[in-house]
Structure 1
Amino acid sequence: MREPVDSRRKRILSVVHARGAVKVSSLAEELDVSAVTLRRDVEELARAGMLRRGHGVVRPMGGVERTTAVPAPRGGEPAGEGGAIALVVPERHSYLYETLHGARTALEAAGEHITLRIAPQAAGAERPQVERALAAGVRGLLIAPRWRSRAGEEADYGWLSEVEVPTVLMERRPRAGSALHALDSVCTDHWYGIHLAVDHLVSLGHRRIVLAARNDSPTARSIRAAFAEIAGARPEVEDWAVVLSSPTAGPGEPGSREEAPDLAALVHGRGFTGAVLHGDEDALMLVQKLAENGIRVPRDCSVVAYDDVVAALGSTSLTAVAPPRGEIGRAAAELLMHRLAHPPGTTGPVRRVELLPGLEVRGSTQELPHPAH
């Protein structure tokens, strides 16, 4: 016989008042109730003012809240993560480390305790790091997954959408309509960054432009798509191409066979006078290779780098699109703290924030000389 609704809800209230704070998933399992039914009951009880609901946790109304301590997982979890904010970023990623620094600065200024977790380069490495942080009792998550391919990105959508603490994605914009479409995120408007680069080169008279870019991150894929759209739509651009920036800038999508061309030969062969190079290290190496093949920057080919992490340090200081990396982290941290400081349902709609990059003009671009008549 099906249990009466009133009886089931009394059991829910009894457990919540005894424990102080209980995960919705754990409560459903303990009471032998389906997750859908349990969430519906919790929603009705919260609407009636009998308990508080939010981000996968149910709490009693009023009084001093008693929370059950979360035991450290097996394997020797570092102590003191309970109540902290977890920051999860991939290893060896200088671009995202500046974003991490921005987030850390904002969180420390607010007196928040931070636990940093570095995900190895292996596919799917973020998930175990997040699960360990959740088991240790963190109350919020800032994460920038590596997502080397679209397939790897899609594989993370399911579990990441079910994280039961407030979560903000940093410098990532999930596929429209995916399980993460409605997750808070803060990222750079990379379309605008490519617009700045192409517009700058076009304004200097360049009509034949090549993009040499990586293909192993969401940023790289956004840059490639934006360049194809923008260059293809500009009537001033007579010829354009998108190529891989180096043999190690992939792997790209599973099954793809994109190879990095000889950029100097491509510039010579198709008469490109402008180039956008992503990211900075690849850009500096490509400029060196151009010089070794007799192509002088900017006299023969103007170059715009994309990232501006080390673009200014080359023998020729590179003009560069500069994403607001630190501001991305700060904005993500502030959004997360806003979510944590207010009861669920009172902080407004999901926010998908985009910050505009800038263009730092240096010595690697110049006006294209007009041919003599």
Structure 2
Amino acid sequence: MRELGDDRRRRILAAVEARGEARVADLAGELEVSVVTVRRDVEQLAQEGKLRRRHGVVRSLVPVAPARPEHDTEGGAVALVVPERHAYLNEVVHGARSALDEAGMRVVLHIAPKAEGGSERPILERALSDDVRGLLIAPRWRTVESEEADYGWIADVRVPTVVMERRPRPGSVLHATDSVCTDHWYGVHLAVDHLHSLGHKRIVLAARHDSPTARAVRAAFAEITANRPGIEDHAVILSAPDAGPDEKVAPQDPAVLAGLVGERGFTGAVLHGDVDALMLVERLAEAGLQVPRDCSVVAYDDVVAALGSTPLTAIAPPKAEVGRVAAELLIRRLLSAGEQSRRPQRIELMPELKVRGSTRPL
């Protein structure tokens, strides 16, 4: 599903401003469009004076705010570590960078390549060999095993650290590390409550299983639907054949969703994430099932959910706010580095429901 030009250019500008600069080829991969399309958008943004382009590279024109004289922000940079090609986290990065720029702190962005696990560690070790005074990190953590394996070394990082959009397991060695995350349980509650309020009592979740957010969404859905009076039937499937790296979760074809709607009478669906949701809606249409006539759909992420032929009702995590709050928490840690008392904080931010055209009363 292609994005509208204005929305695509907005995301290009946000990504470039978050990183300082970006390669055209990388932007094309993240937006899932051709390099020619991105070049055309970059040319228009450059003509509008919003960014600077060179051969194959785009640079931001957003200046770094000067350091506030009353704050000791001199010396060292803040390392920002996120996975490559992760549109959801681009907005988190943008929020974090805005807060750090306002505080006069230099940001060094490190992109972790797509790997089974541990790809952030060597990147961070190289970053710490430079003059890095703080760390904001969103590990990929495709499996529970890779997540657990990273807890120890992240907890041992020698500079103040804030984990973004990740919730380490309670009682783990990383439990006492500062973290800022969306309350995904509440997001799933909003989705199920919205569908149930419209009369839908048979609800299916099509979700990924290759990130902490995906696993949180799946766990919340299982708990909420099992304990919600009035829900007659519920099920969980993968949202795409490549959505689950864990061998314990069998891959499923997207056509399974259409089959469940027809065979078991599901009239409501929660789909995670946006791209998979838009593709699943097309699969339903191919099977002769229209949204929302035959099945009401709520997407989870709200990165591109509004751009479908039928704009999707969606749960919108506060992505940019997660980054900003995480950066502000790190700034406070850096400014109070000499204080003896330091209590870790685990902050949860509330998502919101955005009602569009993909849901209606049963």
TM-score normalised by structure 2 residue count:
0.77
Aligned to 1:285: 279
Aligned to 1:223: 217
1:292-346 Cα distance to aligned partner (Å, 9 max, x none): 1111100110000000000000000000000000000000000000000013445
1:172-222 Cα distance to aligned partner (Å, 9 max, x none): 000111110000000000000000000000000000000000000000000
1:235 matches 2:229: yes
Q: Distance in 1 between matches of 2:160 and 2:178?
A: 9
Residues 21-170 of structure 1: pairs in structure 2 closer than 5 A: 83-122=76-115, 123-170=117-164
Residues 258-269 of structure 1: pairs in structure 2 closer than 5 A: 258-260=251-253, 262-269=256-263
1:206 matches 2:212: no
1:247-293 Cα distance to aligned partner (Å, 9 max, x none): 01111x24543434521111101000000000000000000110111
Q: Distance in 1 between matches of 2:341 and 2:257?
A: 50
Q: Distance in 1 between matches of 2:126 and 2:339?
A: 27
Q: How big is the shift at 1:235?
A: 1.1
1:5-48 Cα distance to aligned partner (Å, 9 max, x none): xxxxxxxxxxxxxxxxxxxxxxxxxxxxxxxxxxxxxxxxxxxx
Q: 1:257 aligns with which of 237, 241, 250?
A: 250
Q: Distance in 2 between matches of 1:254 and 1:163?
A: 31
Q: 1:194 aligns with which of 177, 188, 201?
A: 188
1:274 matches 2:286: no
Aligned to 2:10: none
Q: Distance in 2 between matches of 1:148 and 1:358?
A: 25
Residues 288-299 of structure 1: pairs in structure 2 closer than 5 A: 288-299=282-293
Q: How big is the shift at 1:349?
A: 1.3
CA change 1:265–1:93 in 2 (3 A) is same
| Secondary structure of 1:195 counterpart | helix
Residues 321-332 of structure 1: pairs in structure 2 closer than 5 A: 321-332=315-326
Which letter does structure 2 place at the counterpart of 1:259? Answer: Q
Q: Distance in 1 between matches of 2:313 and 2:213?
A: 19
Identity %: 68
Root mean square deviation of aligned Cα: 1.3
Q: Considering only CA atoms, is the larger Rg found in Structure 1 or Structure 2?
A: 1
Which letter does structure 2 place at the counterpart of 1:138? Answer: V
Which letter does structure 2 place at the counterpart of 1:327? Answer: E
1:75-118 Cα distance to aligned partner (Å, 9 max, x none): xxxxxx96000000000000011100000010001110110000
CA change 1:246–1:87 in 2 (3 A) is same
| Secondary structure of 1:139 counterpart | strand
Unaligned 5+ runs, structure 1: 1-80, 369-373
Q: How big is the shift at 1:347?
A: 5.7
How many residues are matched?
287
Contact 1:82 1:136 in 2 (8 A): no
Q: Distance in 2 between matches of 1:347 and 1:229?
A: 37
1:175 matches 2:196: no
Aligned to 1:338: 332
Q: Distance in 1 between matches of 2:176 and 2:338?
A: 15
Q: Distance in 2 between matches of 1:171 and 1:347?
A: 25
Contact 1:339 1:347 in 2 (8 A): no
Aligned to 2:70: none
Contact 1:243 1:260 in 2 (8 A): no
Contact 2:168 2:175 in 1 (8 A): yes
Which letter does structure 1 place at the counterpart of 2:165? Answer: E
TM-score normalised by structure 1 residue count:
0.75
| Secondary structure of 1:329 counterpart | helix
Which letter does structure 2 place at the counterpart of 1:89? Answer: V
Contact 1:204 1:367 in 2 (8 A): yes
Contact 2:242 2:251 in 1 (8 A): no
Which letter does structure 1 place at the counterpart of 2:263? Answer: G
Q: Distance in 1 between matches of 2:237 and 2:315?
A: 18
Q: Distance in 1 between matches of 2:271 and 2:257?
A: 11
Aligned to 1:318: 312
Q: How big is the shift at 1:359?
A: 0.3
Aligned to 2:358: 364
Q: How big is the shift at 1:365?
A: 0.2
| Secondary structure of 1:187 counterpart | strand
